[in-house]
Amino acid sequence: MFFNWGYRANLEIHQSTDENSVELPRKNNEGTLKFSKFISDFPEVDPSKKLYLNPWLFNGIFQTLYYSSADSSHRFQIYYGREIFKYHDGGICSLDFVIPEPESKEDFQKIYKETLPEGWPRLMPRSRFFTEEELSVSQKHDQDSTKPICVVIHGLAGGSHEPLIRNLAENLTRGEDEGKWDVVVINSRGCCRTKITSAYLFTALSTDDIKEVVIELRKRYPKRPIYAAGFSFGAAVLGRYLSTDHAAQEIKASTLIGCPWDLNDSSRHISSSWSGKYLFNPAVSSFLVKLISNNFKELHEGLPDVFSKENMKEARSFKRTVQIDDTFTSQALGFKNAEEYYTFASPQNVLDKIKTPTLILNSTDDPTVGVKLPIEQIEKNPYLCLVKTDLGGHLAWAQSGGKFWSVECVEKFFDKFEEVY
């Protein structure tokens, strides 16, 4: 896979047959339409056509490096209003809602300074906390609105600041049908300048974190359709949540982008190449060690045997995420080691339980997550469609001009789904 070079990617569609595909009710009582038929009429994933990517980014390594390191500070100028959401276990996440571009940047900065809690880390650019007045409005139950809302779950070291997420937010909220969508990003425990207030990290088993947010959104907006998009590790968490009865009832449609289906295979995969061993794995590991270090007091108070000073000292030399999961994550969750945690938590284990129409994108030249895709399991589930490409890297699929094909797919899939069903 690392020797697969080029810029004209091939697409393969894997889904159940037309005979077995799920029938979904169309809008306005216009009968039903099979999910497989919906996909076959979706031009963005037409396997008879080539997907043209940036010719300078001619393999998965360059695609991934571009996505993870390119300067996108002057693109996707999305503004967020932040709300702190408290989980039942005492932990918190930050809900970043897309808000209109402010008329006055000076007023935006003034509110930013006034609303930033004491001792809170500086937020990412174009983000601020909501005022108390704004929160009282946003948290008020809206019994009538039917405006769709997209819930985004980021990757292991990500957040609302990521270019792919900002690009998606921009396309959905400021596209041709501006104002048609709302977007909220769940910045998980410790991520995107969010504090940790309990002894739990963002893990592959954090499905209740999504569930609790969706329950709150449903209380506020009883008639609004809820869509969900998961990227990378966030796709793994979302995939597991989608296997629950709650998701089947509440999530209208979803997308899983760059999902690590087998966490053990992904752990081996990222360590099997030069780029994984020396670039991607150390970068993610460094972020996670810093996250634990910055929140060590709270973690140590909750689980002193796991988040001990001895373990923290050892962690400063970690270069692989499996070392962090061996020492911290697996132990905090009650597993013997990372392998046992990965085996239990891999989203491929629950594919047969998903009952939400879901578009899946994976590239077989992804240098960071395993590329042994669960094709047979996906084809047996009438709610799933996998689009497999042979070029695109991890999350990127970067095209000339800086566009991300994956974002175009997600946006148009959600738009079309909301139009038809």
Active site (annotated) includes residue 394: yes
- Alpha-carbon radius of gyration of the chain: 21
**Contact (CB, 8 A) for 64 and 395:** yes
Lookup: tokens for 71: 């300067």
Mean pLDDT of 87-98: 96
CA angle 399-371-323, nearest 5°?
110
> pLDDT digits over 6-25, tens only?
889 999 999 999 999 999 99
Quote the pLDDT of residue 293: 95
Residue 391 to residue 150: CA distance in whole angstroms: 27
Residue 357 to residue 307: CA distance in whole angstroms: 39
Q: Closest by alpha carbon to 241, among 159, 350, 168? A: 350
Residue 405 to residue 399: CA distance in whole angstroms: 7
Question: Can you give the pTM of this predicted structure?
Answer: 0.95
Q: Closest by alpha carbon to 176, among 413, 421, 411, 420? A: 411
Beta bridge partners of 8: 52
Active site (annotated) includes residue 415: no
Which of 168-177, 190-199, 412-421 shows the highest mean pLDDT?
412-421
> pLDDT digits over 45-82, tens only?
999 998 999 999 999 899 988 887 777 778 899 999 99
What top-level class would CATH report for the domain 8-262+346-420? alpha beta
**Contact (CB, 8 A) for 298 and 199:** yes
Residue 125 to residue 142: CA distance in whole angstroms: 30
Q: How far, CA to CA in Å, does 273 sit from each of 104, 183, 233, 356, 389?
A: 48, 36, 20, 35, 20
Residue 241 to residue 344: CA distance in whole angstroms: 14
H or E, element range at 227:
strand 226-231
Active site (annotated) includes residue 144: no
Residue 234 to residue 192: CA distance in whole angstroms: 14
Catalytic residue among 160, 232, 254, 275: 232
**Contact (CB, 8 A) for 47 and 54:** no
Residue 305 to residue 309: CA distance in whole angstroms: 9
**Residue 309 CB coordination number (10 Å):** 10
pLDDT beyond 90 at 403: no
> pLDDT digits over 297-317, tens only?
999 999 999 999 999 999 999
pLDDT beyond 80 at 320: yes
Q: What value does the mean pLDDT of the chain take? A: 94
pLDDT beyond 80 at 197: yes
Catalytic residue among 21, 394, 406, 415: 394
CA angle 56-60-62, nearest 5°?
45
Quote the pLDDT of residue 7: 87
Residue 289 to residue 317: CA distance in whole angstroms: 9
Lookup: tokens for 16: 């159940």
Residue ranges of E strands in 351-405: 358-363, 384-389
Quote the pLDDT of residue 1: 46
Q: Which residues are within 8 A (CB) of 304 and not within 5 positions of it... i.e. 6 or more apart?
A: none
Domain positions in the chain are: 8-262+346-420, 268-341
User: If pLDDT is split at 50, 70 and 90, which confidence band does 141 have?
Assistant: confident
Beta bridge partners of 226: 149, 251
Residue ranges of E strands in 244-376: 251-257, 358-363
- Give the position of tokens 């339980």: 353
Catalytic residue among 96, 209, 366, 415: 366
pLDDT beyond 70 at 3: no
**Residue 338 CB coordination number (10 Å):** 23
User: What is the end-to-end Cα distance of the chain in Å, rounded?
Assistant: 38
User: If pLDDT is split at 50, 70 and 90, which confidence band does 2 have?
Assistant: very low
pLDDT beyond 80 at 148: yes
**Contact (CB, 8 A) for 95 and 185:** yes
